[in-house]
Amino acid sequence: MKPLWDIFCSVVDNYGDIGVTWRLARQLVAEHGQAVRLWVDDLHSLARLCPEVDPDVAQQVQRGVEVRRWALPWQPVEPGDVVIEAFACHLPGEFAAAMTAKSRPPLWLNLEYLSAEDWVGGCHGLPSFQSNGLQKFFFFPGFTSETGGLLREQGLIERRRAFQADPAAQAAFLQSIGVQRRPGARLISLFAYENAALGSWLEALAAGTQPTQLLVPEGRVLRDLERWLSTCGLAAHDQYKRGALHVQVIPFVEQDAYDRLLWCCDFNAVRGEDSFVRAQWAGRPMLWHIYRQEENAHWLKLDAFLALYRKALPPAAGEALGALWHAWNAEEDMGPAWQGLQREWQVLAEHAEHWCREQAAQTDIAARLVLFYTNWL
């Protein structure tokens, strides 16, 4: 019998929660032969990432994963062998009670948020005593061997490199989303939350000496783009030219297509957690729009990652990258920081590949979870 994993995902906002859990569920099935039930309280969000999902069907199998609507009132179900509550969501009370009633209760894991902060390594894998008598274990993704690692499918880096070495494959992919690469132009993808700094970045790109082709998937940042373009109602396939900048809105694409988009681009602006990690696997320079938190806790996380990422960078390149990321997240003038980055472009491009190689040498989350379960048994 395959071990059965129950993964619970409560979609709070955006696509980070569902993006991570959907990836993990698929990987556990495809690479580790596990059976997975993915409980999602908003199937519409999942349908954006996996168009085959029918949001009106409460139980369906997609890519080997049993997708279940997490609906209330909760209908009794026998818990599996491993239960994951993703991103500190709360399990249904009845389900938690059913866990304690099993003759052998399941392994209970809380899959936490990704952070590069030092304390994460000290908390990863620790038990948590619960009032129902069970132990829950905290599983922290991260960038060091003391953490749970990052989501990365087998062969991902090899597939990416082959794709990046194949201009025809790139052109075919871009064409499939309505994009024709403009000769001589630098290709940039932009996936971000609302950001008042966007206008200043676009100004810098438009005034630049090098042509830029900017691809913007449909999403929250379009309102800022509309403001800068003095237009409204932007939709997929709309295109505008301002100076050296050619902007094109592209459709919101599912996960595998988004990977290929990142692989095609020379520079990727990403946000949150899932796209942030995927941009690292793309091996290209990037700009991270971090999820804003109360009491500015996100700055500690941003700087913790920068500290790790810049460790092997020459100071000038590290400072240029830090200045850009800080300007973007503080929503300040991006012009000077973008200019500064141009001088370090080559170094940053090489470093992105180096960082990817370094991170890919570590065991990925899914493999570590399976190992954690095996050891727990």
Partner 1 sequence: MKTAQEFRAGQVAIINGAPWVIQKAEFNKSGRNAAVVKMKLKNLLNGSATETVFKADDKLEPVILERKEVTYSYFADPLYVFMDADFNQYEIEKDDLEGVLTFIEDGMTDVCEAVFYNDKVISVELPTTIVREIVYTEPSVRGDTSGKVMKTARLKNGAELQVSAFCEIGDSIEIDTRTGEYKSRVKA
Phi, psi of 53 (to 5 degrees): -70, 130
Q: How far is the CB of 140 from partner 1 (least distance, A)?
A: 8
Which residue number, 110 or 170, has a Cβ lying nearer to partner 1? 110
**Under rule CB under 8 A, which residues in 113-142 are in contact with partner 1?**
113-115, 117, 119, 122-123, 126-131, 133, 138, 140
What is d(CA 262, CA 248) in angstroms, rounded to the nearest whole number?
Answer: 15
Task: Answer for the pair 349, 285: CB distance below 8 angstroms, yes or no.
Answer: yes
Q: Is 17 a catalytic residue?
A: yes
367 interacts with partner 1 by CB under 8 A: no
Among 58, 297, 316, 330, which residue sits at the site for partner 1 (rule: CB under 8 A)? 297
Q: Is residue 123 a contact partner of residue 138, using CB atoms and an 8 Å limit?
A: yes
Q: Nearest approach, Cβ of 38 to partner 1 (angstroms)?
A: 20
Which residue, among 252, 304, 293, 298, has the nearest Cα to 275 in the 3D structure?
252
| 225, 205 contact by CB (below 8 A) | no
Told to check if 196 binds partner 1 by CB under 8 A, we report no
Cα 213 from Cα 279, distance rounded (Å): 18
Nearest approach in angstroms of CB 146 to partner 1 is 14
* CA–CA–CA angle 116, 252, 196 (5° rounding): 60
Q: Does residue 101 interact with partner 1 by CB under 8 A?
A: no
96 is an interface residue for partner 1 by CB under 8 A? no
The span from the CA of 284 to the CA of 270, in Å, is 12
Contact call for residues 67 and 35 (beta carbons, < 8 A): no
Q: Which tokens belong to 223?
A: 């309102």
Q: How far is the CB of 133 from partner 1 (least distance, A)?
A: 6
Catalytic annotation on 6?
A: no
Minimum separation from the CB atom of position 168 to partner 1 (A) = 40
**What does DSSP assign to residue 252?**
-
Among 61, 235, 294, 374, interactor with partner 1 by CB under 8 A: 294
**Contact call for residues 217 and 254 (beta carbons, < 8 A):** no
Q: Does 304 bind partner 1 (CB under 8 A)?
A: no
Catalytic residue, candidates 117, 203, 224, 273: 273
Residue numbers annotated as active site:
17, 273
Binding residues for partner 1 (CB under 8 A) = 12, 87-88, 110, 112-115, 117, 119, 122-123, 126-131, 133, 138, 140, 273, 291, 293-295, 297, 300-301
